[in-house]
Copies of this chain bind each other. A is one copy, B any other.
Amino acid sequence: MRDVAIIGAGLTKFGERWNVGMKELMEEAGLAALEDANISSRDVEMLFGGTMAPGSFIEQEHTAALIADQLGFHNIPAVRVENACASGGSALRLGYITVASGIHDIVVVGGVEKMTDITASAATTALGGAGDQEWELSQGITFPGLYALIAKRHMYEYGTTEEQLASVAVKNHENAGKNEFAQFRNKITIEDVMKSKLIADPLKLLDCSPISDGAAVIVLAPLEKAKKYNDTPIKIVASAQASDTLRLADRDSITELKATKIAAQNAYKQANVSPSDVDVLEVHDCFTIAEVLAMEDLGIYQKGKAAKAIADGETALNGKVSVNTSGGLKGCGHPVGATGVKQAVEITWQLRGDAKGRQVSGAEVGMTHNVGGSGATAVVHIFKRGD
């Protein structure tokens, strides 16, 4: 298998993008990524497109071929990948496998979701498709409710507090304020989070990532050819994925995501990297509790220790490890299919030294962590500079 590198990255502004549709979002991010990679649309050999629920959001399936056409990738193989909120990360791993296999050289991985064309209520129903419809959602629980159960149990077992959870959102808004692509640029306080509307006890509105429109695109090439296109290729040193039961009730523990632990262990082994080597990390904070779980399940902190460390500022920009410098799902926004790809865009910029006002000093090892549903899919990638 060949080594694989990122040679281009592009992103749209995330947020309520009323004036454009899914195709235009992908075009905006895609053309930026092609320009960044110094290639034309004719050079692209295959497209993977991560999208979660375009059938529900915009009554459109078959989105990969549509996007390939919109971007001028004439007649190439194009495949839509769907793994709920881990659709983007799953697409990235398939792009990695495809380039590594030798079957194609230049592969584009896009992620997109156009979520604001339907009501928030209908969007919440669509997102519920990430859980088990027959055994969870149909029984009355909402998708935020699943993470609320996880949060309650984590608080019970480890003494995690609502204020500590709130500190995740405060940090991520702080970082988003430094990111021109982020949905929310405003700073918030612990008090703001605590006083925001209750969604599913103990999670409040500002513990939850928003409904967003947006797209992200990565261009992959074999590392041996990457320098032809880009002076600072970013090498994918590990690509790992695992699954778990959709149903929370079927798991041994709901205070950890087993899929994250397995994917992380495989990724560290593949990259020959340990958790303490990671300088900059984008994790899946769909709810504040999810960032706490991620920091523990990725082995950055021991189980039960992450919430206090986050509240103490250890994971702030240029802290012990810089986490969600993009603003994360909470601050940057969460167009679900785009998120896993956006994480890789942010790490690419960080490892190139291009992250402007939110640059992590001396960042050499980056990691992304993308979760589907309440943890039935987890995808972990590790990155280094390719030179």
Q: Enumerate chain A interface residues (CB-CB to B < 8 A).
A: 1, 21, 23, 52-56, 58-66, 68-69, 73, 75-84, 90, 93-94, 97-98, 100-103, 125-126, 128-134, 137, 240-246, 250, 258-259, 262, 372-373, 376-377
Contacts and interface: CB of A to CB of B under 8 A. Distances in A.
A65 B83 contact: yes
Given A53-B61, A373-B65, A377-B65, A76 B133 contact: no
Given A65-B373, A75-B243, A97-B97, A133 B58 contact: yes
Contacts of A372: 62, 65
A62 B137 contact: no
A250 B68 CA distance: 14
Nearest to A81: B79
B62 A376 contact: yes
Given A59-B129, A80-B82, A98-B101, 19 more contacts: A1-B102, A21-B134, A53-B61, A55-B56, A59-B128, A61-B126, A62-B82, A62-B129, A62-B131, A62-B246, A62-B376, A65-B83, A65-B373, A73-B243, A75-B243, A75-B259, A76-B242, A77-B93, A97-B98
A103 B94 contact: no
A56 to B, nearest CB: 5
Contact of A1 (B103, B125, B128, B132): B103
Nearest to A64: B83
29 contacts: A1-B103, A53-B61, A55-B56, A58-B133, A59-B133, A59-B137, A60-B133, A60-B134, A61-B126, A61-B129, A62-B82, A62-B130, A62-B246, A63-B82, A65-B83, A65-B246, A65-B373, A66-B376, A73-B243, A75-B259, A77-B240, A77-B241, A77-B242, A79-B81, A79-B83, A79-B94, A81-B82, A100-B103, A101-B101
